[in-house]
Structure 1
Amino acid sequence: MGKDPDLRVNVSLLTESESRLKSLKKEFNNIDTRTDEMRPYWGSSDIADAMNEFVDNWDDYRAKMINSIDTVGKLVKSSIDGFGGLDGDLAKGLQEGKKK
């Protein structure tokens, strides 16, 4: 009984992580491309073309990051649900064991 457990789960940290991932996803989803607004400030057409290419690449990478954030968020949520359910089952078993 004095042996340290093989697995410790910090559900508070998982819950906080899930919340932060949701916030990050929301921020990345709400980033607007302002290419048309900024075009007059870029100067020459060579610079404007390079900036347009950068913005297009950023949009692609941003979409990949949103997908990754969403995937990790689902994994964290599954972990919370799994360990929360397991913890509840163990607590219920202990309570039933005390009644006997």
Structure 2
Amino acid sequence: MAGGGLLRVDYGDLSLLEGRLTQIVSSMKSDNHTTSDLAAAVGDPRLAGKITEFGDSWSVHRGQISEEIEWMRDKVREISDGFATTDGDLADGLKG
């Protein structure tokens, strides 16, 4: 690199990010019954209907968001693996 710059990769941070993204996806996928439980608890059929309608719409969007977060998590893993492979290859090249 020009100017003697260094690239430092913190694998711990990448691993932490991957873990957090996995937790987010898991939480979003396990949150399927919240709106139906709330609709049953409110007691007013009109309000329960609106809650259910919102829940149905949110379910679609939640699925799309989950897919995007899973994609991001997979990219973080690929980046980490790619840097680790390159780092190992360079280290091996210095040995041989």
Query: TM-score when scaled to structure 2?
Result: 0.83
CA distance in 1, matches of 2:36, 2:86: 52
Question: Structure 1 runs of 4+ off > 6 angstroms?
Answer: none
Deviation for aligned residue 1:30: 1.4
Alignment: residue pair count: 95
Unpaired segments of 5 or more residues in structure 2? none
CA distance in 2, matches of 1:36, 1:78: 37
Deviation for aligned residue 1:61: 1.6
Deviation for aligned residue 1:22: 1.3
Higher relative contact order (CA 8 A, sep 6+): 1
**Per-residue Cα deviation, 1:35-86 (whole angstroms, up to 9, x for no partner):** 4443343233321121111111221121111101110011011101100000
The aligned counterpart of 1:27 is: 27
Which protein is bigger by CA-based radius of gyration?
1
Query: TM-score when scaled to structure 1?
Result: 0.80
Deviation for aligned residue 1:8: 2.9
% of aligned pairs identical?
A: 30
The aligned counterpart of 1:45 is: 45
Contact 2:36 2:55 in 1 (8 A): no
Equivalent residue letter for 1:4: G
Equivalent residue letter for 1:51: I
